[in-house]
Amino acid sequence: MEDCLFCKIARQEIKARLVYEDEEVVAFDDINPQAPVHSLVIPRKHIPSMNQLSEGEERLLGKVLTAARKLAEAKGIHQKGYRLVVNTNAEAGQTVFHLHVHLLGGRAMHWPPG
């Protein structure tokens, strides 16, 4: 997608320091962090949301989740705990329509979320 913000970040056309990178997945810190650790883990491939995840992309989603776990380890929050969130469409508060997993940690989380 030419004009997708997160595609541009993945291609490094928009400046964002990548905190994780491999062939299929990149991660960067959220511009408006909601916790001491708040990163976004995305597939390089443009998938707008969970609703467009196709059969055959399960492995890619597994890679995104595995990257999130590695990043939690790298950030030193894996033992205390962390939360992975995928907002989907309006009622969940999705604002960027390129599938992303929020990695949140470094403080106690509340449940249920707001």
Residues catalogued as catalytic: 100
Instruction: Name the DSSP class of 3.
Output: T
- Tell me how many degrees the CA angle 80-62-23 measures, rounded to the nearest 5: 105
Beta strands 37-43 and 101-105 are: antiparallel
In the three-class reduction of DSSP (H, G, I as helix; E, B as strand; rest coil), residue 5 is classed as helix
Q: Give the distance from CA 79 to its chain's centroid.
A: 20
By CB under 5 A, tell whether 96 contacts Zn ion.
no
| 46 versus 70: smaller Cβ distance to Zn ion | 46
Which residues in the 81-110 window bind ligand 5GP by CB under 6 A?
Answer: 87, 93-96
Among 44, 46, 69, 78, binds Zn ion (CB under 5 A): 46
| 50 versus 106: smaller Cβ distance to Zn ion | 50
Contact footprint for Zn ion (CB under 5 A): 1, 4, 6-7, 46, 98
